Amino acid sequence: MSDTVRDASPSNGPAGINDPALLERRAFMKRLMIGSGAAAFAAMGAATLSTGMAWAADPSPSASASTPPSGGPPPGGGPANQSVTDDFFGLTADGYRIDDLFAVHSTGVSTAEVVAAATAFLAALDDTQKAAAQFDLRSIEWRQWSNVDSYVRNGVQLGEMTAAQKQAGLALVRSALSARGITLTDTIRRINGVAGRLIGSTVTFNEDYYFFTVMGNPSATEPWGFQFEGHHLVLNYFVLGDQVVTTPSFLGSEPTTVTDDQTGAELSVFGDFFDLAVTTINALTPAHAATAILTSDKTGDDNVAEAFKDNVEVSYAGVRADGFSTAEKRALLALIAHFLSVHDTGHAAVKLAEVTRHIDDTYFAWKGATTDDAVFWLRVQSPVIYIEFDCETPGPLGSIYGAGGPGGGSKGTPSRQHVHCVIRTPNGNDYGKELLHMHYATAPHHRH
């Protein structure tokens, strides 16, 4: 089955933040940089599906298709800054968005902790920092994230905060994550710092070169969100009542295993992802595995939905799960659960319930070998989830592990020592945009 990708993205036009012309020039330069081969993205994980698990209730409306928007503000009023929403369409399989997949509803999972943490974080900033960190909810800033540090990021930098501010910022990030997610993201940042010291480049390759932005005002009832971004770690977190959308998310690392030059401790990430991915592909019947495996050769970097690819069109590829046995479906759902469970356990379960309802419309694709030490790429794609996990070619930190590093990695060969993973919500709900649209269209206090 072919693996077809077409970038149908409209231009990231100017938004109503600061100088529109300056923002458009900046957006163009970022897109040019990414198109020229800059790296991006990474991985997530944790949790295993168990039989008999009770999923959170969530409405499952009927689905229909829509074509890309022709412009103009959506019904229902809302903020005046509409340009990003109008330009955004979302990742699709065929250029047509499936409508009515998502609904504003109560999940029964509290967001009180993250609301309190965001409120405390903003209160800890001085006026200048707060002005730099806080953006309109519909700001283009949501979409101006990347894995690479080759441009000036907006927001406030972790490394330029006081100890109290840094503590408040990390408390915000951790309030959105599970215990495993906290460990993973902390270790990613630590490895970034070690790597920077080992190659003698610590200005951006360090543990604290990560930036916070807050969109809107933290609220228990009104929509808002935050973003935390830097090298190999990007978290987008949209909140509406007790609903959250945690995509796009990106986690990664280069290297994935390294000895801390200061403490002597071994730092390692993604080993559990490697193991579970290989277990999943080998859980399929020979016929299903043959359809899932697009090629047994892994020769380059294969992710296609990283930074500035919000509207990319990615055709379904691999094997469709509608023909899977119960055991095969359980294995695939366990893999998906592992990626989702980076985030807090309650909302990860809500998302997994949504994914489970669409399991028969889910495709699983693979490139590479299937041995225990395989270097591979995988994709999981359905109407409501998109996951890419890639063993990448050596990047700027490749000299640390070289040809003798675990997993290979010399002369452009993909390696387990460099990983990128991206998770998205297809059909228009990255950044919670579909929920936000529905909120402004239906909430009585927003209708005019």
Sequence ranges of the domains in the chain: 1-58+106-434
Backbone angles phi, psi at 192, to 5 degrees: -60, -40
Backbone angles phi, psi at 45, to 5 degrees: 175, 165
150-183 pLDDT per residue, tens: 777 899 999 999 999 999 999 999 999 999 999 9
**Tokens 């109503």 found at:** 16
Mean per-residue pLDDT of the chain: 84
Amino acid at 434: E
Look-up: residue for tokens 């977190």?
A: 237
The average pLDDT across 24-33 equals 37
Model pLDDT, residue 77: 28
Distances (CA, A) of 414 to 270, 279, 390: 15, 20, 9
134-135 and 210-215 as β-strands: parallel, antiparallel, unpaired? parallel
Q: Count CA atoms within 13 Å of residue 16 on its CB side.
A: 9
* Cα–Cα distance measured from residue 398 to residue 178, given in angstroms and rounded to the nearest whole number: 30
The pair of three-digit structure tokens given for residue 193, joined into one six-digit string: 């710092």
DSSP state of 214: E
DSSP state letter for 92 = B
Query: How large is the C-alpha radius of gyration of the chain?
Result: 21
Per-residue pLDDT tens digits for 55-110: 233 333 334 455 543 332 232 222 233 333 448 999 999 999 999 999 999 999 99
Instruction: Answer for the pair 342, 44: CB distance below 8 angstroms, yes or no.
Output: yes
Q: Residue 215, SS3?
A: strand
The beta strands (E) that lie in 5-54 are given as 5-7
Q: Is the pLDDT of residue 379 over 80?
A: yes
Half-sphere exposure of 59 (CA within 13 A, CB side): 11
What whole-number distance in Å separates Cα of residue 29 and Cα of residue 341?
34
